[in-house]
């Protein structure tokens, strides 16, 4: 019985370390910056809809609602990451993201995402036009 409890406690400690490392990974890989970018976009829309709200509302909103939601999302993502990565994988990813090239990737990812979304949107519209034209040529 003591052996079982010892194994259970060691497993729980390992799981907790794994969970903490996953949360750290999501921090160092730029997820936090991406969430902040999303918040800025959402609040820009809200500010247009609620122009009379004082500036203090936006910091309160972030702290009282948005940050809690991001924390909940992070908790939901932990099992997803666990499904696809081992604890050792996560440690290696953290090391990468803490390296100079990893930090550069993290810093550039939001800009790359924004620019690639614009490029992809134009590409998608052009592709759809070509698909429609092809279908029309085939008589559909």
Residues 112 and 93 in one domain: no
**Residue 121 belongs to some domain of the structure:** yes
**Residue 125 belongs to some domain of the structure:** yes
**Residue 5 belongs to some domain of the structure:** no
**Residue 76 belongs to some domain of the structure:** yes
Residues 94 and 111 in one domain: no
Q: Are 22 and 82 in contact (CB under 8 A)?
A: yes
Residues 82 and 64 in one domain: yes
**Residue 87 belongs to some domain of the structure:** yes
Predicted confidence at residue 15, as pLDDT, reads: 64
Tokens for 140, please give them.
């559909």
Q: How far is CA 113 from the centre of its chain?
A: 12
Residues 91 and 68 in one domain: yes
Tokens for 43, please give them.
């609040």
Q: How many domains does the chain have?
A: 2
Concatenating the DSSP letter of every residue in 65-118 gives: IIHHHHHHHHHHHHHHHHHH--HHHHHHHHHHHHSHHHHHHHHHHHHHHHHHHH
* Overall pTM surpassing 0.85 (yes/no): no
Residues 94 and 115 in one domain: no
Per-residue pLDDT tens for 34-80? 888 889 989 999 999 999 999 999 999 999 999 999 999 999 999 99
Per-residue pLDDT tens for 16-36? 999 999 999 999 998 887 888
Task: State the DSSP code for 138.
Answer: T
Domain of 126, in residue numbers: 107-140
**Residue 8 belongs to some domain of the structure:** no
**Residue 45 belongs to some domain of the structure:** no
**Residue 13 belongs to some domain of the structure:** no
Residue 1 has pLDDT above 50, yes or no: yes
Residues 93 and 113 in one domain: no
């Amino acid at each position: 019985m003591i052996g079982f409890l010892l194994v259970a406690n060691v497993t729980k400690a390992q799981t907790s370390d794994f969970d903490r490392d996953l949360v750290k990974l999501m921090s160092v890989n730029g997820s936090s910056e991406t969430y902040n970018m999303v918040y800025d976009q959402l609040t820009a829309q809200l500010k247009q809809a609620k122009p009379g709200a004082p500036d203090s509302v936006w910091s309160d909103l972030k702290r009282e609602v948005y940050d809690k939601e991001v924390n909940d999302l992070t908790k939901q993502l932990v099992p997803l990451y666990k499904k696809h990565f081992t604890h050792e994988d996560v440690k290696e990813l953290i090391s990468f993201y803490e390296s100079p090239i990893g930090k550069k990737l993290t810093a550039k990812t939001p800009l790359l995402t924004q620019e690639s979304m614009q490029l992809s949107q134009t590409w998608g519209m052009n592709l759809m036009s070509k698909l429609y034209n092809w279908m029309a040529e085939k008589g559909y």
